[in-house]
Structure 1
Amino acid sequence: MLKEKLKDYLGFAVAGNFAGHLGEAGEADEFSVIKTKDKNEPKGLFPFYIKDHDSFLKTYPICTNTIYTHQRENDKIQAEPELALICDFVYKNEKLIDITPKYFSAFNDCSLRVQNGDKLSTKKNWGIKTKGISEDIIEIDNFTEDGILSKYHISSFIKRDGKLHNYGTISAVKSYSYFFTQLKNWIIDKFNTQEDCGPLEEITQFMKKANEAKGILIASGATAYSEFGKKNYLKNDDELFIYVYNARKYSHQDIINNIDSTIKLDECSKLHQVIKS
């Protein structure tokens, strides 16, 4: 199964790669200390899973069908609908030389919203089954604007008490602040140069056993929330749906019609998770 294979991958995510998300997540003040060269540039990278690390990061958090709150509902848990890039990489002389996105999938970078001044990574992995990835993995033909990802959109929904709500805004993958070659080059630079600042950590400390990893999973950044998503945190028995789909083939209504269906759509990555304590 996919989730077993990813146990041998490093897990990192991009912070602040969608306009407005940090403010909606209540994290804008914490990130205000981080200055970027470009106003649209993401704020940085953070780890959510490092195999064999001597901290909470060694806990494998990814699941394909469940999110466990671990009784932390008071810390205001929000799903983060986004795109996962499953990547090969080259690491030599303690430097990331290259990274190649090979596959993509719907991803839930679920997060605690507790405002305690700790590093962002501490809010991203609080035990097993606290992240989500779809089993529907799609191969990337080439990671440029000419590739298939230019056709794909991200949509997300919460079903609560039998009623369906839009959770995140409908977002084109190519509307990420940084994507394709610009994101790739930025990721390589951040792996090699990011320093400890505010909610983010120096990255090279997490790469000591990089050559033992089979790849790197990069969560590209969360979309903006709908009005419901802004105001509602996850509750037990909620059902979360995240779709990454070819928007030239499917309408938003087509995706809604598929939510309760067992029919698997082609050119579509669907993540369905139930929230449990």
Structure 2
Amino acid sequence: MNLEELKDYLGFGVAGNFANHLGEAGEADEFSVIETKEKDAPKGLFPFYIPNHQSFLGNFPFSTEKINHNNIEQLQIEAEVALLCDFVFENGKLIDLKPKYFGAFNDCSNRIQNGNKLSTKKNWGDNSKGIAPDFIEIDSFNKEGILNKFHIASFVRRDGILKHYGTISAVNSYSYFFEQLKKWMIEKFNNQEETGPLEEINPLIKNLNNHKGILIAAGATAYTEFGKSNFLQKGDEIFVYVYNARFHSFEDIMKDISGADIHLSQCSKLHQIVE
């Protein structure tokens, strides 16, 4: 992943796209004011990077190697699939999204509940987001495509001890994914209004045609018991894997973390140090 190229992508996340995640993240109350058309639908979109924006959203947050702890007391990994998308934008409206590549992503988040917009907890400057250096091309963004075979796994190594941080989750267990997610996102980019912790989205993409693409963080997995109760500390090692579970075994992932010489040919891996 070329970080320089990412400077010309807009970054948005999908809130509430895995069952129970908002509750585990302590955000369910904030989102209770938002009604969705379907029970399991995501709650909405939020921005975390808008190139040249005059607010904190203009900070370039991506890193392939480290997370800036910034002395934040309640910092959590959010292990996700990121989608690099082309787009069609006409007359102030998003007409189409075209996911081209996918990879491992850490939508690292500040859990301090201060009543501000969700976006304010997502970008605190350099190295506040994690993105794998290697992304995988999407053959077709549907259940017949390669992405349907992939799982998400995340870990923290602290003081030499490895812990599961998020539950191992199939990509196809997202509440919305493939065509359903794509249609939902297009509607939200065009019509989402300011409600509760979410802001109006369309004004943020008014200059979209001046940019290369959109990066979508599709939503964070649920947490393990360790992940729920342990916030990040300086010195922690973060691992997020998005891997073809029909090609690579869980043992392959464990061997890779332990430093064994293993080639994960169908995997996007993120490894970061908290500093």
The two structures share one fold, judged by TM-score above 0.5: yes
1:254: how far off? 1.6
Deviation, 1:256, is: 1.1
Indicate the SS of the match to 2:83.
strand
In structure 2, give the amino acid aligned to 1:17.
Answer: N
Q: Report the AA paired with residue 21 of structure 1.
A: H
**2:64 paired residue number:** 64
> What does residue 265 of structure 1 align with?
264
| Secondary structure at 2:252 match in 1 | helix
Equivalence for 2:49: 49
| Equivalent residue for 1:204, pick from 202, 205, 208 | 202
Q: Helix, strand or coil: the match of 2:18? A: coil
Aligned to 2:102: 104
Structure 1 unaligned regions, length at least 5: none
| Corresponding residue pairs, total | 274
Alpha-carbon shift at residue 136 of structure 1 (Å)? 1.3
**CA deviation vs aligned residue, 1:109-166 (integer Å, no higher than 9, x gap):** 0000010000000000011100000011100000000000110000010000000001
Q: Percent identity?
A: 64
| Preserved CA contact (<8 Å) 2:252 2:262 | no
Aligned partner of residue 221 in structure 1, secondary structure: coil
- Distance in 1 (CA, whole Å) between partners of 2:33 and 2:273 is 36
The one-letter code matched in structure 1 to 2:164 is N
Which residue number corresponds to residue 162 of structure 1? Answer: 160
Is residue 35 of structure 2 the alignment partner of residue 35 of structure 1? yes
Aligned to 2:142: 144
SS in 2 for 1:26: coil
Per the alignment, residue 22 of structure 2 pairs with: 22
Judge conservation of contact 2:243–2:267 (CA < 8 Å) in 1.
yes
Separation in 2 of the partners of 1:208 and 1:102? 22
> In structure 2, what is the Cα distance between the partners aligned to 1:4 and 1:140?
21
For 1:251, the equivalent position in structure 2 comes to 249
Aligned structure 1 segments of 4 or more residues deviating by more than 2 angstroms: 260-264
Letter in 2 for 1:19: A
**1:39-74 CA distance string (max 9 Å, x none):** 0100000000000111000000000010001222x2
1:95 aligns with 2:93: yes
Kindly provide the amino acid, as one letter, of the partner of residue 89 in structure 1: F
The separation in 1 between residues aligned to 2:14 and 2:148, in whole angstroms, is 19
Contact 2:152/2:171 (8 A) holds in 1: yes
What residue in structure 1 maps to residue 175 of structure 2?
Answer: 177
Match of 1:236 in 2: 234
What is the distance in 2 between the residues matched to 1:39 and 1:186? 14
CA deviation vs aligned residue, 1:170-225 (integer Å, no higher than 9, x gap)? 10000000000000000000000000000000001211221111000000000000
Match of 2:185 in 1: 187
Task: Give the TM-score of the pair, scaled to structure 2.
Answer: 0.98
Aligned to 2:11: 11
Provide the C-alpha distance between the structure 2 equivalents of 1:200 and 1:225, rounded to a whole number of angstroms. Answer: 23
